Chain A
Amino acid sequence: MVAQIRHSHSERSLRHLVDLEHGQISREIYVNDDVYRQEQEQIFARAWLFVGHETLVPNPGDFFQSRMGEEDVLLVRDRKGQIHVFLNTCRHRGMKVCRYDDGNTLVFTCPFHGWTYGTDGQLVAVPNEESTYHGELDKAAWGLHEVAQLCNFYGSIWATWDAGAPSFEDYLGPFSEGIRRCFQSSDGRDNGVEVFKPPYKWYIPTNWKLPAFSFDGDMAHGAMTHQSINTAAIGPQGELGGGGRHGLRAAFPKTEYEFCSAELGHGGHNPIFELPGVPPYVETWQTAPGVDDYYRRTREEQAKRFADQYLHGGGGCVWPNAIVQPQRILLKHPAGVGRTESWRLYPVDKDAPKLVKDAQRRYMMRYGGPAGLTESDDMENWNYASRASLGTIARRLPYNFQMGLGHAFSDDRVPGITLNNRTAEENQRARLRRWVEFMEAGSWDDIYPMKQT
């Protein structure tokens, strides 16, 4: 089996492990080392990945240590104000040129032999260059390795190592507008958010796909996994209405669906509206006096801005591993076949008063991350689901992805979107379908424009 996995174009390809027709997925793809190595080449060296947000590097010389797949990268605003993403490795002998999480600098000087790079990535100095390299070192050719494409998408920074990848907007396809709105302030202005610092970072002993593919693709887990949470009443409304962890929302004629691009692999839980505009505001910050005043006002402005528009759709998982939702971003970085480095970043209205930012921040801290009251129970399930799938016998048993299988549909109001009931596994099947395509593709030509499979 291992040899067949390595040679994905062989007669028996990965497709026999991912049976989407019957909703049966081999556990092998979650536990096999060769599959994992192939993912690094075929997915993470190729896909558009979330790197950060422009407000993490507001000033010239600012840098922020981020990650693409398994590798550390530097998000840098150079001295002229342009944003770059570089692999964090010296071109001489590979040492990390920066070991700080963030900061501001004139140059990156490697602590090994002193090769020194400008914030634009250029190799600007090598110690004793004249006497040791006899003036023959081609410094222009030995700058920091930069991503092939970078996109500043309404303030969020995305990058790919593949020059042949389509533009980020084409990559998002029908999710472009929904993801865009996740980076609007609550009054509906583009580039309206900043992100709190620093991000949460923690390790989960599980394969990256388990959390990345189930997040915003697994509505069925909530009632069981999170049944202890309401007793803690962590929502902004406190104990009101039973102590739910989400804020209170107004009734508005809409239906929530599993909402995915079956071709591109993106998916979330999103509404189709029966009316244009935005739902009216409902007071929900009973635990933080004054906050409702702000959000009520911004909702009114948002309502004016979008009065005639149907705001179908929204955020979700941007394939493969970035889950972008309003006020929350979640990244599931691969860190070994059985290990995931999980990150959370929290956007907030840039122009909100401190009172609002503080309340929003405290809500996010008690809700999410490894010390948040909600997500600790997810960690337990993802961890031991992974552990219990390692055994010889366990590996023979496929996972069941049959929820809602064969019940997908489309709607003219949301072209390009595949819909299913709010609680289904359509989003996860879409991610797995795209996974197979990436794993088998020789280049972007094979997977974009999308091939019918």
Chain B
Amino acid sequence: MEIDSRAQQLERLLLEREVEQFLYKEAQLLDDRRFSEWIELIADDIHYFMPQRRNVKFGEQYREHSDPESEISWFDEGKATLAGRVRQINTGVHWAEEPFSRVRHIISNIQIEDVQGDEVKVRSNFFVYTNRLKDEVNLFVGTRHDVLRRDADTAWKVAKRTIILDQNVLLAKAITTFF
């Protein structure tokens, strides 16, 4: 096995740190309801995808997640629809988010899986807590597979995001937050 040089290890560490800080900043923008700034971090060609998850027989895990090529997913969209969601939430008459829910994104277990040119494949876990009106609480827990792309304006943009939510029947009455 080739041992990375000290310089390579440092470079890797800096990249990890940079990616972590980007993901934290992104989560903070959502928690602070700065949706119009958040959408600026989304690449124009993003595929924003959250599959549904089936209960399947052992050996059939390959079809546990709904297929973006042919099946129905919770989210399977590009920037146009995501930007539409941002416009909707900013109307003040999107009743599912009026008044705003209290939302907190806890992002952890961040691991860089691959680096290709100006793109980084990164995996992270999320714990999203939402509290609405008095006592409505929803917990969304899962993992994300992202492709981040270096960007001249915003340092990074999210070029692809697959969100694996650990639920079968959705336990929340609606999903009106971003991941």
Contacts and interface: CB of A to CB of B under 8 A. Distances in A.
Interface of A: 99-103, 105, 196-205, 225, 227-229, 231-234, 238, 287, 341, 346, 357-358, 361-362, 364-366, 369-371, 373, 375-377, 379-381, 383-384
Interface string B31-72: 000000000000000000010101111001000001001111
B170 interface: yes
A365 B77 contact: yes
A100 B71 contact: no
A201 B170 contact: yes
B23 to A, nearest CB: 22
Given A197-B71, A198-B71, A376-B175, A203 B81 contact: no
B88 A373 contact: yes
B76 interface: yes
Nearest to B50: A371
B73 interface: yes
Interface stretch (B93-101, B104-112, B144-152, B153-161): B93-101
A203 B173 contact: yes
A427 to B, nearest CB: 23
Given A103-B60, A366-B77, A370-B172, A199 B72 contact: yes
Given A103-B56, A198-B66, A365-B73, A380 B175 contact: no
B74 interface: yes
Contacts of A200: 52, 72, 170
A202 B95 contact: no
Contacts of B131: none
A198 B72 CA distance: 6
Chain A CB within 10 A, most for which of B52, B85, B94: B94
21 contacts: A103-B56, A200-B72, A201-B168, A203-B171, A204-B173, A225-B95, A228-B88, A228-B93, A228-B94, A228-B95, A229-B88, A231-B84, A231-B88, A362-B77, A375-B174, A376-B96, A377-B96, A379-B173, A379-B174, A380-B95, A383-B173
Query: Which 5 residue pairs of A and B lie closest in terms of their CB atoms, listed nearest first?
Result: A232-B84, A202-B170, A376-B174, A228-B94, A376-B96
Contacts of A197: 66, 71-72
Nearest to B72: A196
Given A196-B72, A198-B66, A201-B170, A231 B91 contact: yes
Interface in B13-27: none
B70 A371 contact: no
B129 interface: no
Chain A CB within 10 A, most for which of B54, B69, B72, B169: B72
B58 to A, nearest CB: 10
A237 to B, nearest CB: 13
B87 interface: yes
B8 to A, nearest CB: 42
A234 B84 contact: yes
Contacts of B94: 228, 376-377
Given A196-B71, A196-B72, A380-B95, A202 B55 contact: no
A47 to B, nearest CB: 23
Interface of B: 50, 52, 54-57, 60, 66, 69-77, 80-81, 84-85, 87-88, 91, 93-96, 133, 136, 168-176
Given A231-B87, A373-B88, A379 B96 contact: yes
A358 B71 CA distance: 9
Contact of A101 (B56, B75, B91): B56
A233 B83 CA distance: 10
Contact of B54 (A101, A376, A380): A101
B169 A357 contact: no
A351 to B, nearest CB: 15
A234 B60 CA distance: 34
Given A199-B72, A383-B136, 7 more contacts: A103-B56, A196-B70, A197-B71, A204-B173, A365-B72, A365-B75, A377-B94
A188 B171 CA distance: 38
Nearest to A374: B88
A357 B71 CA distance: 10
A370 B175 contact: yes
A229 B175 CA distance: 15
B169 to A, nearest CB: 4
B71 A102 contact: no
A383 B135 CA distance: 12
A227 B93 CA distance: 7
Contacts of B170: 200-203, 370-371
Nearest to B173: A379
B175 A371 contact: yes
A399 B52 CA distance: 37
A238 B83 CA distance: 13
A373 B85 contact: yes
A380 B85 contact: no
A371 B87 contact: no
B14 to A, nearest CB: 36
Contacts of A233: 84
A140 to B, nearest CB: 28
A366 B78 CA distance: 10
B93 to A, nearest CB: 5
Contact of A234 (B70, B81, B96): B81
B78 to A, nearest CB: 9
A295 to B, nearest CB: 19
A361 B54 CA distance: 18
Given A101-B54, A197-B72, A365-B75, A370 B174 contact: yes
Contacts of B56: 100-101, 103
Contacts of B80: 238, 287
A67 to B, nearest CB: 10
